[in-house]
Structures are given as structure tokens and as C-alpha cells.
Structure 1
Amino acid sequence: MKLLNFSIIKFTFCLIVGIIISKLFSISILYSLLFCVGFTLITIGFYFTLKKKKSFIYLFGISVYLTFIAFGIFITNINGELQKTNHFSHAIDKDQANQTITFRIRERLKPNAFSQRYYVDILKLNAKNVKGKALINIRKDSLNIPIPIDAVYLSKTNVIEIKAPLNPDQFSYKAYLEKQQIYYQIYANQLDILELKSETSTVFGHAARFRNYINKALSKYQYSDEQSSIINALILGQRQNITKEVYDNYTNAGAIHILAVSGLHIGIILLLLNFVFKPIERIKNGKLIKTIILVILLWTYALIAGGSASIIRATTMFSIVAIGINLKRPTNIYNTLAISVFILLLIKPNFLFDVGFQLSYAAVISIVSFQPILERLYSPKYKLNKLLWQTLTVTVSAQFGIIPISLYYFHQFPSLFWLSNLIVIPFLSLILGLGLVVITCAILGIPKSFISDTFGAIINWMNQFFAWISNQEDFLILDIPFTLLQVVVSYLLIFSIYQLCIQKNYTWTKFTLVSVIVLQLTYILNQYHTKGDSFLVFHKNRTTLIAKKHNNQLAIYSTLKHAETNTIIRSYAVKNALQPIASKPVNVLYKLKDKHILIVDSLGVYNIKNITIDYVLLTQSPKLNLERLIDSLKPKAIIVDGNNYKSYISRWRQTCKKQKLPFYQTGKTGAFIIKD
């Protein structure tokens, strides 16, 4: 055994462990650097002192693994934008309400109901050269013209730290943006930003202008807005203009991956390019030239398609595959995956916590592991049957890898996923190929033709098919509680099943059965955690939304109709494995064991006798004398929800401060929870 004969898979695993440790524990850059240098020196020392002492070779192995763990900790720390001295957050003048900001548009996002949204690079803050990314929200106006990528603007506005959600178990946009190294956002009107002259042009700007040129060329084919949005998503990687209805249809049909340029698209494009440039192999050094051309074209396409995280990781992986295939180097798919993961995490450690990153690699690993096993179960005689069977086995194999992660993040399962993929995936290479031909024709100025009309008809058919699948609501399983522990146990079970299929022995049969039992125990543990009672005051603007939990039942009381379907309630119920009960009107008094909660609404009535009031919830802006209420009821705390005027809240806060009584505003401190 050679000393340096270690698998890249082990190195990658150690790097991942280091990244996770860095996120779990606060380790300074200095200490992480010392760990990294220290373990590197120890490893080098072991190499020269132990290379002839095979009995101690395990010490060298341990030191190598610890070095890569330390390296993972170090690269995670140095990639933290906030720790860099030139990050714009260090230049914010807290004495000024507004900051003078110069920024460059980096990426256009999907707009919301009120604003056009962009990622921007901050260039200057209060005349100081800085770096860092931020989110800017530009309020929509009547013109609503998108701002071009690379445009530089000056604005005097406030820089606001992105806030965490105010209700428990809600989707955290703050956490999502932190993975993109974005911690602040800016709000502005179109008139508040002044465009500056800039001669600097980035790769992203060139790519955006080329996409605009393609869309302008395609306009002569008179595609509808819906068709254009799908073409942009399918081929150009831009999903901003897809309507919510169409997006939901693809999601509910289990086919949203078709609209995200990722491994599936890059793999198909590699196969098409490999076929087109195959004649080059006949010339001297043809394989090398062809490989260089393929890699350059793959990365050119990746940049044109926006250079998102999913595109970059897929292009990295398939670049390695292209090099291995065309240079006739023996490649192991697991090593190829490990190399691509290693390279991506070296560049951007936060990729590890990206949902798309996790789903992408889980799907690919699952396909290469389970697809050969499933394919052997049946041997069709005819080519069409063989193609359909291979598509089905690939689709089902992918689900082994992605179901646990999908259930954890999205809590739903589209049970007709196999039908969606069985019908569309076999023809996706033809659809992508035809799309590239149509774009090429448009760029060359070829007028509308049978080919462009056919492509438009195919897009319409896809949309109609996935809309039909989505409307089969009985096959869409929603609100599935699934914890992180269940994700881990599920993957242990899946790994045990894979090993059992390969080795077929008693040991892996035992591991599989034990994994099944442990997974069942996790459900029992979930039920155990639901035991107990609590009273919750959620935060929702202009709405009273409260709930009373009894074991696994969640009773909802609100001014909203059908409040049990509200996102706030659904998220909390699903994450905590609770069953929401149809909402009812708000009561005046609630009891939680020996605690009483009084609700004072717009009527301002609180005539309660012979009951000790522990908490008072003020909602719907009641006109009352709070000092008199406090003197009369002597509560332990005053709670104010989001259904009150701000002027009233400010006055009540001063009163409670004067009375030295705890004051909780859900709009500041988040949902208020009382436990038994």
C-alpha cells in the first residue's frame, strides 16, 4: 500500500466534515489557520518518519484526514464575507438614517407583487470603496422596465439588515440569503436611483446582453409570453418570467427540474456536442482538441445560462466526465462526483448547504447506484420498450436519493412523478436540440417556419400535460412532517438496501431490518414530542392569529376565514407534526392549565371578575386606558400582535415601561408562546 494512495472520496468527506464543524462552532480565522498549518506540518513529518514503518501507517492516515478537516474549517472561515475588512457593512454610518451607495446590478430575480428585485455588488458606501453583495428592492411603477445587468447606480437610502421570520418554523429568507453571502437589503423607488456612466463590463453583463439579443431575435416567431418564459427557463436558465400557475404545475407534477438548467440539461448538451464534433477525432491530436472545444462550449453555455449554482456544479462535473471520456482515461463515476464536489466546495463552501446542491448530487449518486439494479429486473425485446424502461428506472432510482431531502424541505410528494418523467424525459434531448436549432435560426435571421412553430407547439403541449398532471390532486401528498433525524435514518436504510441488493448476505439483511425499526421509532419519537399544551400568538399584519395546542391537535382562532390553510399555520403544524383544526372566531378568555389569557379587542371590554389574569393580548387597536387595565387585572405581561396601530403600540410600550411590566410586541420579538 502506498502512503499517498488515498481516495478522493475520503478527502471530500473530511472536507465536508470540516465545513460542518465551522458552521456549528465559532472558530476564528487565526485558530483555523493554526489548525490547518499545524496538521499539515504533522502530516509531512509523519510522511518522512513513518514511510518505512508500515505498522504505524495508520497515524499518517489519521493526520491526513485531520488536515483535510482543518482545511475545511479554514476555507469556510475565509469565505465569510462579513469577516472581510472591506465588506460594506463595516462602512455603514449608524449616525445617518440614509447611506450614499454606489452599486452594480449583478443578477435579476423573480419580482414579487410590489418590487423588482436584484442582487447587486456594492462598490462604494459613503465615498469609501467597499465590496459585498446585497439585495435591492425597487418599487414597481407604471413603466416597470427591467434594469440591465452591469448598470451602475447611485442612491441615498437606508441599508437594512435582513431579518429572520417572526413566526416559528416559517421559511427563513434570511437564512437562504446568508448562504448566498447576502446579509443586507435596500429599498428604493425608480426615481431614487441615479444611473452612472460605467465602462466596466463583467461576464454576467455580456451573458445578459446576449440573452436579450436572443429574445429579441425570437420575437419574430411570435411566441406567447407563456411560451417565451418556458423557452428562457428550459434553454437560457432564466425563470423570472414564469407565472406562479405554470411554476406550480411543474412542481406538483414532479417535473420542476426540467425548468432548471442543471445536470440533466448539461448532460444532454454534452452528448449533442460530442456527436457534432466527433469528426474532429480523425485529425492529429483530435481527441485533445475536441475535449478542449467541448469544455469551452460547456462553460460558455453555463455563463450564458446565468452561471447559477446548479449550472456551475453540473458543468464542473460534466467537464471532468468529458475529459475522462475523450482522453480515454478510466473514470469511476463516484470519483468523478467526489472531484467535482471537492472543487466546488473549495471555491464556495456554502454550496454544501444549498438545497439544489444536495438534491443534485443525491439524485446522481442514487441513479448510478440503483439504476443498474432496477434495469436488470426486466429485459424488453423492443427498442421503444427498452427506452421507456430505462427512463422509468432512472426516474425511480433518482427518487431513492431525493425523497428524504424533498420531504424535509418541501413536505410534499408528487406520486405521479414517474408518469411526468416517463412521458417527457425520453424526448427532452430532442426538445433541447430543437430549441437550440430554433435559437440558431433566430440569430441567423431565418423567418418564422415550420420548425419554430413545431417547437412552440411542443412547449404548449408540455405546459398542458403538466397542468393535467398537477390537477390530479388526489395523487399529490401534501404537508408531510419529516425531521432531520428521519432524513439521516432514511439514508441509512437506503444504503442498507443498496448493499443488500449487491451482496445479498445476512449482515446487510440485519442492517436493513434494524434501519426499518429505527425509522419507525423516529415516528414514535415525533408523536412523543407533540405531547403537552401551549398557547401561541402569531404575528400577522392586520390580522389576529392565535392557536392553542393540545398534544398533536392545533386549534386555530382568528379574524381570518379558513385560517388553518394560512402559510404560517401550515408551516408550524407540519414542522411539529400537528393536526390543525378548522379555525374559529377569537374568544375573550383562554385557559392553559392554571394560566389565563385575556383577549382585549376593538371593543376594549375587560370586565373579568374572580379570575386571575396572567397575560393580556391587545389586538384590533382597542381604545382603552392601559394603566387602568393593569391596575385592575394586575397581569404578568402585556402582549401586542400585528393587528394594532403603530401609534397605539408605542403608547402602550411607554405605559408598560412606566409600570415596569413586561411588554411583548410580536412585530419585534416574534410570536409569543406560552407553555404549560
Structure 2
Amino acid sequence: MNTTAEDIRKLPMVRILIPWGTGVAVGLKNTWLAGWTGTILLLILFTALIAGFFFTKKNYRLRYVFGMIAVLFLFTAGWFLSSQKIARIQNILPEKKEGVYVAEILEPGKTANGAPTAVCRIINKIDDKIPFPVHFRLVIYFEGNMDAVKPGNRFCFSGQLQPLPQPKNPEEFDYGRYLLLRGISGYARIRDEKIIWFPSGSSTIRSLAWEAREYLLEILKKYKIPEKERGVMAALSLGYREDLTEDTMRAYRSAGAMHILAVSGLHVGIIYLLFQYITFFLQRKKWGRIIRSLLGLCVLWGYAFLTGLSPSVVRAATMFSFFTAAGLLNRKVSSLNILASAVFVILVAEPFLIAQPGFQLSAAAVASIGAFYPKIALLWEPRNPLFAKIWSLVALTLSAQAGTFLLCIYYFHQFPVYFILANLVAVPLAGILLYGIVTLYLIAWWSFPASILSAILTFLTSVLNHSTHFIETLPGSVITGLWITPVQMALLGTSILFLAIFLYYKKAYLLQLAMIGFSGSLLISAEQKWQNSKNDLVAVYDLPHYSVISIRAGKCRIILCDSLAMKRPEYILSKTENFRIKENIEPSVLMGPDGIWPEDTRESAFSLRLSDGCRLIALPGKNIVLTEDMNIPSRQQIIKAHILIITGKKFQAPSALMTYFRPDLVVSDASVPDGCNKRYAEFFSRNNVPFHPVAWSGAFVREE
């Protein structure tokens, strides 16, 4: 019986990938190795690696020294590669950002309100009519209807380049970081009159793929498939999700079937199996096998380009490419080693992909299926063929979920309870639909059968949508408000890894290590809850034009809003959701300016209206005063305000505020205009009072 160490030695690419991938991930957070520091360190380690190789050839017992140097070299190389790349993207915008530029469109898209946008490659900057070559990427927002926004098209524009936006609220989605990890250095907004389009040049592979996808999308519109079903069919077959409604995406996410709408290994596998079935006759001869394999690779990568080269599709296409090459060479390979090889090649070419949730989920699902499926499938071996297929799908779903649920909780803070039921319906239907949609694309020119097929596909898609919506509405269909820290995710992920190894080798220490990881995570959660229960929290959010303030004290969980914000409760709750989950401000009561303070919270905090437009919030050992167009009575008693929050669009005399409240700190929320903030800043600066304008400095958070 093989030992754990012997089996690990049979997975060389896994052993290479772990230090390399860890180094890449560190480099995205810390760019210390960018430049000469990393170059010199790599040269030293490379020299040590060569010396260690020849030394261990003479003294095999010291081979572990060579292994340690190799691990350190791979870690440093990954760190150097990613930090070098991210540092170059961060510092590439010209100092004088306003000017005339020449750009080429790479990826067209749309904003939430339907306005055209595109990721563009900037080719030249024009100074005094002389073009100077530059190389960086921008997101450009076009103001107007731009029919020429197509991949490969070039244009000249005049505008101001903007650096990537920074998040202004705690735990807010970092859109600037998201763009940076796509190789984008900034953004610009340009109007029609500021653009000169160049004549279309020769087509590129990317533009041809885009045109092909647009042609296929037009087929779905041609046969008058309803918008909701058409959006799902486009997402399912082409990875095009811009026509999906928010309601549909929420239903699939809550049911645990969102992977159906994100083109991934499942879809690539279905396409590959379809091609293998169609070309079965080529398998009979040796040259036929070679042609079949080469054609299969062309189909796989052509499909990958049609879907926009999403990380999960690239990973799946790379894996199938390795499997195909191994089959041609008659080599028996480990699926885990193939996965590691694919991920390694992808990260060498594009290290930023390691930070994309889609790529992480895709790789984790495949690895988890490889580890857990053989063991789970053996737990029951039904003789009935139908039950056997159902159990196989259940085992597959459980295996994939074992590797991805931590990432789902970390990124989306929820867990779908009925994911098995959802996948029992969604996966078979998705397979049938994908075969049918591909057939529709192929026979679109033949109107009569294509019309019948489109009607059948519309019905099946409607069944898929309705079943997903039904599962979403079941009691307790989704557990929300979940939060884990990166340390907890590392502990739990390591525990799951030890558990997977334990299933194969039955070593007690592996189970003990897994239990230690689980216990450590539970201790971290308990400590966080204790800290949250002990400390009071005040947060003033930066939501432009709105006054939104969170209070947490004892049992008190309240979000104070102005009348304007109360008209958009879903928007306010969605924008503050992640921070509320992390800081245990759930469930929160949304309260307007005239709301009545809940009785069960008055032991921890209470509110008192001092006058029109002025409210006192008393927390243990702390007074918070909110003022809006305050009308102070002539005999107003002086009240000590530890934090004074100014709200509203009207200017309030800061001298009167200082006289009656003597604040330790003044905060103006996002509803206060810039003109008022300038006057407040001047006054409080002269009087040495700390002033935090949320509209300028981002959200204000104080926890004590």
C-alpha cells in the first residue's frame, strides 16, 4: 500500500503549483519584490538551486535541501512575476492625464443603464500633433449611442484620464481593484464630439469571435424567444449575461444553480462530448484519431473565444487540451496533476486570474470532485439504472460543493440549502438545452425546423426558470448573513484538505489536524462575536446625496436615514450589507427622521428630539448629535456631543453648533454639498476641531 509521501511524489505539478500560486497571491498584495530587489533575489536563489542540484547528486540523503531551495525559488518567482506586473499597471498613467489619445477597443460592454462602455488598449498619446507610443488599458464610458463600439475598431479621443476608483465605504466591492486585476490602469468618460473614428482595419481573432457571438445572439432574437428565456439561453450557451434580469440571477444564486449561467467546465465538457459523438467514425484509424483530437482542440478553443475567454472556460479548455495530448501519447495521467498543470500554465500567462472568484471556484470544484467523488459514489451502489444516475449526480454535486462552499460564503456571504434539489433539475436540463441551442445555431438557416426547435427550447428554459424560482421560494432556501475571515477560510480549507486525504489513508492524525482547523475557526468566530457585543459602533456611509448612519450598541441595531434614502430601502440595504454582516449589525431596523426608537433597545441606546432638525442619540458613555437645518431654542441647554453629525443640504452656522454642543469630533454626511463642506472645513480647522467630511474622505466608522 502506497504511503501519503509516495503518492504526493506522483503529483509533481501539484508540488510545483502550491509554492508558485502562493507566491503569485502574495505578489498581488505586496509589490516589495518588484524591480531590482526581486531580480537580485531570484538570481541568488537560481544560483543556489543549480548548486544544490549538483550537490545532491553526490549526496542523495540531502535531497530535501534541494527541495526546500526549489520551493523557495518557485515562491519567489511567483511573487516577483505578479508584483512586477501589478506595479507596472499601477504606475503607467501619464502625469498629465488630460490630452489626446489613440485607442483600440478590446472588449465592448454595457453599463447597468445600457450605456456603451469598452475595455480599450491605448496605443498613442498625441502631443503637439506628434504621436508617442504608450501601452496601457482603460475602461472608456461612451456618452451616447455608439454603433462603432466593436472589438478591433480604433479611434482618437480627447479627454481626461482618471485613476482607478477607491472604495469609499467599509467592505464595499472594490471596483478599482477588480479593474486593476484585469490589467486596467484607469478610466475615462468621453462624448460623441470628442471622438474621431478610424476606418475599420483588418479583422483580428478577438473581433471575429465577437462578431460570431453577435451573430448567434441575433439567431435567438430572430426566432422571437421571450426576453427572460433568451437571456438564460445566451448565458448558458455563450456566457453572455448582459440580458439576464436581476430577478433571474438572484433566483439561480439562491437556489445554488448559478454555475449553470456561468459558462464553465460543465459546458465545455458537454460541447466536447457532443463533438466526440459526432466524430466517432474518426476513431477507427490512427490518423483519424490525430485529426479528431486536433479538430476537438480547435472546437474547444473556438468555443472559449466565443464565450469571451472567461477564466473557468480557459481552465477547462486547457485541461481538456492536456488530456487530449496525453491520449495521443497513450499516457495514463492523474486528473489532479492535469488540473495543476492547467492552472500553472494559466497563472504563468496571466497571474491576476488567481484573484478572480470564477477561476477559484472552477479550479476548486474540479479538485474537490477528483478528491471526494470516488469515495462518496461508493457509499451507495443502487442497482436500478435511474437511481444510479440520480445518485451519481447527487454525489457529483456534493463533491463539488465540498470544495466551493467556503468560497461562496467568503465572497457572497450566503449558502443555498437546497443545492442538491436544484442541481438534480438544473444540470440535466442544462445539458439538454445546451445540445438543443447548439443545434439551433447550426440549423438556423432552415426556418421551419428551427422554429419548432426554438419553441421547444423556450418551453424547457421556462421549466428551468420556474423550477429555480420555486426552489428559491421554499422555506429556508438560503442561509444569509454568513461571514468568514481570510484566516478562517485558510483554516477551514486546510481542514477540508486533511479530511480528503484521511478518506484515502485513514490516518488518525489527519482527522485530528482537520478538527484543529475547524476548532480554530470556531474560536475566531466566537471572539469576533464577543468583541462586537462589547463595543459600540457608529458608521456614517458615503452614499452620494443620502444621509445613512448605522448604530450598534447592545441590542440596538438601527440604520438612520433621511426621507430621501427611505424611498430606496433596497438600495440602502444592499450598499451596506457586507459591513452590517461583518460587524454584526444584523438584523437592522431602517428608520426615517421621524421614526420611533424601538423600546427593546432603550437600555443600550435611546434617541431624544432636542428641536426641529436636531436629535440626540445617547449611547453608554457617548453622546451623538445629529443636526439638519437646526432651529436652536433661545434657552437651549448646552449638551456635550462626543460626535456631532451634520446632515442636510442647508448650511448650519458652525459657531452656533460649537456653542451649544462643544463637539470632540464633527462629521458631515454624504447629503452635505461641497460648498457647505468647504465652509465647515475652514471654520473647524481654525478652531482645531477634527472634521471628517464623508463626501471627501469616505465613510466614517468609529468603534469603541
**TM-score, normalising length from structure 2?**
0.88
SS of residue matched to 1:589: strand
How far the C-alpha of 1:512 sits from its partner, in A, is 4.0
Q: 2:350 aligns with which of 328, 348, 351?
A: 348
User: Which deviates further from its counterpart, 185-194 or 249-258?
Assistant: 185-194
Gaps of 5+ in 2: 1-5, 594-606, 608-614
Aligned amino acid, residue 312 of structure 2: S
Distance 1:322 1:576, change over 3 A: farther
- Paired AA for residue 103 in structure 2: F
Q: Which amino acid aligns with 2:104?
A: R
Deviations 1:16-35 (A, max 9, x none): 12213323432232121222
Secondary structure at the counterpart of residue 643 of structure 1: coil
Aligned partner letter, 1:132: F
* 1:128 and 2:135 aligned: no
After superposition, the Cα gap between the structure-2 partners of 1:605 and 1:206, relative to the gap in structure 1 and judged at 3 Å, is: farther
Superposed CA offset, 1:506-562 (max 9, x none):
333433443443333232122133131132222222222112222575332222449
Take 1:74 and 1:311, find their aligned partners in 2: how far apart are those partners? 27
Which residue of the partner structure matches residue 604 of structure 2?
Answer: none
Deviation at 1:359, TM superposition (A): 0.8
1:161 counterpart (163, 188, 204): 163
**2:108 equivalent in structure 1:** 108
How far the C-alpha of 1:36 sits from its partner, in A, is: 1.8
Q: How many residues align?
A: 666
Quote the residue 1:484 is aligned against: 486
Q: For the aligned residues, what is the CA RMSD?
A: 2.6
Correspondence for 1:662: 690
SS of the residue 2:58 aligns to: coil
Select the residue among 205, 208, 212 that pairs with 2:214: 212
Paired position in structure 2 for 1:11: 16
Q: 2:624 aligns with which of 581, 589, 597?
A: 597
Aligned pairs for 1:595-674 within 5 A: 595-605=622-632, 608-630=636-658, 633-674=661-702
Partner residue in 2 for 1:525? 527
**1:637–1:663 Cα contact (<8 Å) kept:** yes
Question: Counterpart in 1 of 2:66?
Answer: 60
Match of 1:383 among 385, 390, 405: 385
1:102-122: CA deviation from partner (whole Å, max 9, x where unpaired): 222221334212733322222
Contiguous gaps of at least 5 residues in structure 1: none
Measured in 2, the distance between the counterparts of 1:547 and 1:597 equals: 12
CA shift, 1:483, in A, is 2.1
Q: Which moved more, 1:508-517 or 1:305-314?
A: 508-517
**Cα 1:225–1:563, aligned 2, differ >3 Å: closer, same or farther?**
closer
Amino acid across the alignment from 1:71: A
Bigger drift between 234-243 and 437-446 goes to 437-446
Q: Is residue 2:37 matched to residue 1:35?
A: no
- Superposition pairs for residues 93-492 of structure 1, below 5 Å? 93=96, 98-113=98-113, 115-126=115-126, 127-139=131-143, 147-442=149-444, 448-472=450-474, 474-492=476-494
* CA distance in structure 1 between the partners assigned to 2:203 and 2:556 by the alignment: 57
Counterpart residue number, 1:542? 545
Q: What amino acid sits opposite 1:644 in the alignment?
A: V
Write out per-residue CA displacement over residues 374-429 of structure 1, whole angstroms, 9 at most, x where no aligned residue: 11111111222111110111011111111111001101111111111111213433
Query: Deviation of residue 100 (structure 1)?
Result: 1.9
The verdict on how the C-alpha distance between 1:195 and 1:445 changes in structure 2, with shifts beyond 3 A counting, is farther
Post-superposition offset of 1:340: 0.6
Q: Which moved more, 1:435-444 or 1:332-341?
A: 435-444
> Could you list the per-position Cα deviations for residues 458-508 of structure 1 after superposition, in whole angstroms to 9, with x for gaps in the alignment?
222222222222233531221212222221222233233323332334333
Distance of aligned partners of 1:520 and 1:134 in 2 relative to their CA distance in 1, 3 Å threshold: same
- Amino acid in structure 2 at the alignment position of 1:181: G
Match of 1:22 in 2: 27
CA change 1:309–1:513 in 2 (3 A) is closer
How much has 1:636 moved relative to structure 2? 3.3
Letter in 2 for 1:596: N
User: Does 2:588 match 1:581?
Assistant: yes
Is contact 2:553–2:619 with CA below 8 Å preserved after alignment?
A: no
Report the Cα offset of residue 593 of structure 1. 4.5
Shift of 1:641: 0.9
Whichever residue aligns with residue 676 of structure 2, its letter is Y
- Relative to structure 1, the CA distance from residue 212 to residue 28 in structure 2 (aligned partners, 3 Å threshold; closer, same or farther) is closer
Question: Secondary structure, in 3 states, of the residue corresponding to 1:396?
Answer: helix
- Does the Cα contact within 8 Å between 2:638 and 2:661 map onto a contact in 1? no
- For residues 195 and 494 of structure 2, the distance between their equivalents in structure 1, rounded to whole angstroms, comes to 53
Q: Which residue of 1 aligns with 2:611?
A: none
Residues 284 and 7 of structure 1: is their aligned pair in 2 closer, same or farther, counting only changes over 3 Å?
closer
CA distance in 1, matches of 2:411, 2:671: 30
Determine helix, strand or coil for the equivalent of 2:22. Answer: helix
Pairing 1:555–2:558 present: yes
